[in-house]
Structure 1
Amino acid sequence: MSSWAIVALVAIVIWGIVESIRARAGIITDEDGNQKIAPREDGRTAAELEAARAELADLKERVKVLERIATDGNSGDARERARIASEIEALRGLPALKKEQSE
């Protein structure tokens, strides 16, 4: 095998590897030789998918907060804290009433 044949064979292998990497990345070449990102099977672009992922993460965080609000206010400890807080507020109001009555 001549050295030119080996060089040609190596060049073809390298070209094949580069094209397979481009295909996995979604880069295609049109008729005019311009490279662009191929549309995905579901029709979305990479930016739209990233925006959808960010929105999904935001919504998951909101659901966690809502679950915490819904469950924390209904627990026995939360009701006990609310009862104690209302008793404290009621006791704070008692001395003020006695002072007003004495005046």
Structure 2
Amino acid sequence: MAENVIIPNLPWIIAGGMSIGALGLIAWMFTTWLRIKNGYPLDGAWGQAIYPKRDDEAMERIKLLSQENAQLRAELGSIKDRLANVERIVTDSAHSLDREIEQLRGSRSN
């Protein structure tokens, strides 16, 4: 008997659920638009700020991190050069290494 009552009303139940979902989506879009319009930061799923406002402290921190990044890249480049020299020394035959050392000693005594 209960099946007869639910089946004829099934399209109305589905339409009601879809309309409630659509209204919820429209309300969420409206509140997000209001937040953007008034300059509030947007929140992620766990409450973290997605687009936080920029302040001077954050900009200064970004500048310091950029400088440190440049210094580390320069240091990495010099380390790569030194490593290339060590690899060259290790892979060269002992005879050519001895010859280079003797040439360096000879240039010092001149």
For normalisation by structure 2, the TM-score amounts to 0.41
Higher share in strand: 1
Higher share in helix: 2
For normalisation by structure 1, the TM-score amounts to 0.43
